[in-house]
Copies of this chain bind each other. A is one copy, B any other.
Amino acid sequence: MHSLVRQCRIGLPPELNGLAEAEGIPPQRMAGAIACGHIAVPANPRRTIRPVAIGEGCRVKVNVNIGTSQGLCDLDLEMRKAEAAISAGTDALMDLSTAGDLKAIRKRILSLPVPVGTVPIYEAIRRAGSAADLTADILFSVIREQCREGVDFLTLHCGVNHDALEALRIDPRMLGVVSRGGAFHVAWMVATGEENPLYAEYDYLLEILKEDDVTISLGDGMRPGALVDSGRLAKTTEYLTLGKLARGALDAGVQRMIEGPGHIPINEVAWNVKVIKEVTDNAPLYLLGPLVTDIATGYDHVVGAIGGAIAASAGADFLCMVSPAEHLALPNVEDIIEGTRVARIAAHVGDITRRGGVTGSPEEIRMAVARRDLDWEAQYAEMLFPDYARSIHDRDSERETCSMCGDLCAVKMVRDLLCTDQKRD
């Protein structure tokens, strides 16, 4: 099977026309960006989905994580969450299940029409019994099986290697490792003394992925788990490793994305994005957060939206929804809806900058016109969440303006005044 990267190097695959149109960029330019790895289109050819383009010149995309955990394993609930996320506008889903019949869960989630990602180390650990008992064979078998099942992108913590471990040792962090996948690899490396097979046998891994044209999402196992850890060496050590691995994947014709931090202060967000983009040669960047404070637990979706909007504006391409239950509990359906909406806001705010400002954002222009005209239906037509907004507006009775200002509406007062006045000039 020819990989999308290779197809784009020699011509224009016909399936790009729709994608390029959706992004408002010329198909040939999109093909060029895929060929040089600036855009990824995670879409396993074994499945028929609504693919999305992620990266340079594209709208910022949103992913929602769902999945069972040992504390709460209810497949029907996870499907309701997945469907709620799609209704709320997510572009992709990741199945992070760690409990129950993992294959059965994945099969149902793969029946949904959006790109689906997984973290194969979770199933590999389940099969091995413990991190110490994991073998490279088990891990690669799981990866191969998931590719064959139709998964579109895999988070693989290839950067959690002995260099990263050494960085953790010489420059310790308050919260050593907070990535679950990263922690498994660290545990395995410490137990066996060996190198992470995903790093040591990276070329073999790429061969497996290439067979089904599956996209690799180079996981950030070393992402800082607290603001106090943002400046430690492990993070940047991993950035550099991922940059090297990103080049390797592209050379092999495998599409890749980079995963980024984590917990970092607001003033460090933009330059972290720039550094990752530089060392990875502008690979698509996939972020969880960044979370810009650690003490707003219960509102980490808002904290992530602050970090995510800045990151997207600075160049991040794909935002992972953070739920209000982050750090507290497995999210419920309401958490998923709230988190997805807020992530979409962050993505859109970033898009305004990415499209060169408001002049490249026709929905912002149409919204301003609708507000000037106090045309509520035209406003709803532009809103990200029209039904929700309507429910707030309709709780009071006034219609042309709103109960906020009532007749004392500034727009209403000045609109005709200035228009008339301008005509006089």
Report how far A63 CA is from B92 CA in the complex, Å: 38
Q: Given A293-B364, A358-B265, A410-B178 in contact, is the A329-B395 Cβ separation under 8 Å?
A: yes
Q: Is A330 an interface residue (CB 8 A)?
A: yes
Count of interface residues, chain A, beta-carbon cutoff 8 Å: 109
- Determine which of B71, B395, B397 lies in contact with A398 in the assembled complex, contact meaning CB atoms within 8 Å: B71
A125 to B72, CA, bound (A): 59
> B328, B342, B413: which contacts A404 (Cβ < 8 A)?
B328
Contact of A69 among B99, B292, B406 (CB under 8 A): B406
Q: Are B178 and A330 in contact (CB under 8 A)?
A: no
- Among residues of B, the one whose C-beta sits closest to the C-beta of A398 is B71
The answer to whether B265 and A98 have CB atoms under 8 Å apart is no
Asked whether A11 is an interface residue with its Cβ less than 8 Å from the other chain, the reply is: no
| Chain B proximity of A169: nearest CB distance (Å) | 6
Whether, in the assembled complex, A136 has its beta carbon less than 8 Å from a beta carbon of chain B, the answer is no
Q: Which residues of B contact A84 (CB under 8 A)?
A: none
The reply to whether the CB of A146 lies closer than 8 angstroms to some CB of chain B is: no
Q: How far is the CA of A425 from the CA of B349 in the complex (A)?
A: 47
User: Per-position contact with B for A346-357: 1 when CB-CB < 8 Å, else 0?
Assistant: 101110110001
A266 pairs with B309, CB closer than 8 A: yes
Shortest Cβ gap from A418 to chain B (Å): 5
Q: Which residue of B lies closest to A421 (CB)?
A: B190
- Flag A115-128 by CB within 8 Å of B: 1 or 0 each: 00000001001000
- How many copies of this kind of chain does the complex include? 2
Stretch at the interface among A20-28, A29-37, A210-218, A384-392: A384-392
* Stretch from A43-51, A148-156, A226-234, A274-282 that touches the partner: A226-234
Instruction: Tell me, in angstroms, the Cα distance from A154 to B342 when the chains sit together.
Output: 34
Given contacts A187-B414, A396-B330, A414-B183, contact A371 B175 (CB under 8 A): yes
Say yes or no: is A18 at the interface (Cβ < 8 Å to chain B): no
Query: Given A372-B174, A382-B295, is A98 in contact with B406 using a C-beta cutoff of 8 Å?
Result: yes
Q: Report the minimal beta-carbon distance from A164 to chain B, rounded to whole angstroms.
A: 12
Bound-state Cα–Cα, A230 to B365, Å: 12
The one of B226, B292, B363 in contact with A368, judged by C-beta atoms closer than 8 angstroms, is B226
Query: Once bound together, how far apart are the Cα atoms of A313 and B305, in whole Å?
Result: 16
Out of B229, B296, B353, B396, name the residue touching A383 (CB < 8 Å). B296
Contact of A243 with B by CB under 8 A: no
* A327 is an interface residue with CB less than 8 A from chain B: yes
- Besides A98-B406, A184-B413, 20 other CB < 8 A contacts? A70-B406, A98-B408, A122-B408, A174-B365, A183-B410, A183-B411, A186-B414, A227-B352, A228-B365, A265-B352, A294-B367, A295-B382, A297-B383, A305-B305, A306-B309, A310-B310, A326-B404, A329-B403, A330-B404, A332-B395
17 chain-A/chain-B pairs, Cβ below 8 angstroms: A70-B408, A71-B403, A172-B418, A174-B372, A175-B411, A180-B409, A183-B411, A190-B418, A225-B371, A227-B368, A296-B348, A299-B345, A303-B345, A306-B306, A328-B393, A328-B404, A329-B402
User: Which 3 A-B pairs rank lowest in CB-CB distance, beginning with the nearest?
Assistant: A71-B403, A70-B406, A226-B368
Chain A interfacial positions (CB closer than 8 Å to B): 69-72, 98-99, 122, 125, 131, 168-169, 172, 174-180, 182-184, 186-187, 190, 225-230, 265-267, 292-299, 302-303, 305-306, 309-310, 313, 324-332, 341-342, 345-346, 348-350, 352-353, 357-358, 361, 363-365, 367-369, 371-372, 379, 382-385, 388-389, 392-393, 395-398, 402-411, 413-415, 417-418, 421-422, 425
